[in-house]
Amino acid sequence: MAKTVIPIGPYHPLQEEPEFFKLLVEGEKVVDLEIEIGYNHRGIEKIAESKSYDQVLFLVERVCGICSTSHPFAAVNAIEDLADIKVPERALYIRTLIAELERLHSHLLWLGLAGHFIGYNTVWMWAWKYREPVLDIFEKITGNRQHYAMMRVGGVRRDIEADDIPAIGKMVDGLLPVLDMFRGAIMDDPIIHARLKGVGVLTKKDIFEYGALGPTARASGIAIDVRKDDPYAAYPLVDWQIITQEEGDVFAKAVVRILEMYESIRIIKGCLDRLKVVGGEIDAKVKEIPPGEGIGRHEAPRGEVFHYVRSDGSNRPVRYKIRAPSYMNVPTNQKSVVGGTISDATITLAAVDPCYCCTERVAVVDRRTGNKRLTGQDLIRLSQEKTLKLKSDIGMMKG
């Protein structure tokens, strides 16, 4: 059967520019995938060479809005690695607290989008509704819902007030029954099982070959997590465990993220307890960065963020290298999307939790000359329709 090309353009049906994801299909089956990035390339590494180390932290924060503190976290780890800086204990707990609150909001965001893609719009609304208290707490303790600017070389920029600790504790306690609800709604739902199990599978071998990270790797049974492998901040000081699943399908990736949120709450509460008793400085008051090189990383919600920095002793980096986790995870779609159907494409692409706006730019390319036009919205609709069909097949037509 000749391959057909269906261009999908969310922006213009007649455009010929390459899309982010170009799916080559034969009938309903995806036979090949081309990935084209560069829309978001802002030249941040180059800009970093003309900024001071303090300014670099504000710059890298904006690599990704959702993993906003993850990049500054890796950055301070890299610069402190370079300069052998010892960070005061209280600051370690504050850093960890912020990072885990971020994991909560990021995973809830993903849960909502995933729900939307498979037609569970109530999951979307609920996940994003319960994300709001996390953002409200961020605003309360850092001044902003996103882009919190908490990290500083040698410590943190703001302290956590004693009065705020109960509010943070109350908020995460309030999330526990919500997580229980999601767990029941998602992990026990036979339709979601039918929809997501066996879909978009990545084997252990795939993970190794591509160097995939984060929940994507952990869902295939590879227990890698920077917080345990190369411990930093308060992660070795509080009680928690790595979450893995074995099957490597979209369902496993969802389960990993849901269960990780419980662990994040454990870490947050552990940090809050310590912050009640550990006082002292929150900043090592670093004056200079000596010549040298450093590597810092952080387990962001999507996986390992990797930063490399080189200094010549001046107050600007000579070279600043950033590698976000999606860079390693997105190419795995060559394995997970290919061989699947068009209706499973959206949720499979979303399963590695790439940058949201990347998933907007999808083209389905069918090489026969019947130029069937499908928009990115159509792909989502196909995915939602598949769920409806499963619901009626299983005989449980819900409204």
Applying CB under 8 A, the residues found at the interface with another protein are 10-12, 15, 17, 37-47, 50, 58-59, 62-66, 68, 81, 84, 109, 125, 128-129, 132, 145-147, 208-212, 224, 229-231, 292-295, 297, 304, 306, 308, 310, 318-319, 321, 323, 327-328, 331, 355-357, 360, 375, 377
Q: Which of 68, 384 has the CB closer to another protein?
A: 68
The Cα–Cα gap between 325 and 330 comes to 9
Q: Which of 204, 276 has the CB closer to another protein?
A: 204
Q: Which of 120, 210 has the CB closer to another protein?
A: 210
The Cα–Cα gap between 360 and 376 comes to 6
Single out the residue of 258, 326, 295, 268 nearest to residue 114, CA to CA. 258
**Smallest distance from the beta carbon of 201 to another protein, in angstroms?**
17
The Cα–Cα gap between 71 and 98 comes to 12
Q: Are 248 and 220 in contact (CB under 8 A)?
A: yes
Q: Which of 44, 187 has the CB closer to another protein?
A: 44
Question: E strand or H helix at 377, and its extent?
Answer: helix 376-394
**Smallest distance from the beta carbon of 171 to another protein, in angstroms?**
15
The label of the residue with tokens 């990072």 reads 99
**Smallest distance from the beta carbon of 139 to another protein, in angstroms?**
8
**Smallest distance from the beta carbon of 267 to another protein, in angstroms?**
19
Furthest CA-CA distance within the chain: 70
Q: Which of 198, 292 has the CB closer to another protein?
A: 292
Q: Which of 190, 231 has the CB closer to another protein?
A: 231
- One-letter amino acid for residue 21 of the chain: F
Q: Are 350 and 114 in contact (CB under 8 A)?
A: yes
Neighbours of 398 (CB within 10 A): 9
Single out the residue of 235, 309, 324 nearest to residue 85, CA to CA. 309
**Smallest distance from the beta carbon of 392 to another protein, in angstroms?**
25
| Parallel, antiparallel or unpaired: strands 292-300 and 21-26 | unpaired
**Smallest distance from the beta carbon of 358 to another protein, in angstroms?**
9
The Cα–Cα gap between 171 and 179 comes to 13
The label of the residue with tokens 């995938």 reads 33
Residues β-bridged to residue 381: none
**Smallest distance from the beta carbon of 310 to another protein, in angstroms?**
7
The Cα–Cα gap between 37 and 124 comes to 27
Q: Which of 125, 396 has the CB closer to another protein?
A: 125
Query: What length does the chain have?
Result: 399
Q: Please provide residue 323's backbone torsions phi and psi, each rounded to the nearest 5 degrees.
A: -130, 115
**Smallest distance from the beta carbon of 105 to another protein, in angstroms?**
10
Q: Which of 144, 371 has the CB closer to another protein?
A: 144
**Smallest distance from the beta carbon of 302 to another protein, in angstroms?**
12
Q: Specify whether the backbone of 38 is left (phi greater than 0), alpha (psi in -120 to 50) or beta.
A: left
**Smallest distance from the beta carbon of 375 to another protein, in angstroms?**
6
The Cα–Cα gap between 377 and 39 comes to 20
Question: E strand or H helix at 272, and its extent?
Answer: helix 250-277
Q: Which of 334, 341 has the CB closer to another protein?
A: 334
The Cα–Cα gap between 81 and 79 comes to 5
Q: Which of 194, 261 has the CB closer to another protein?
A: 261
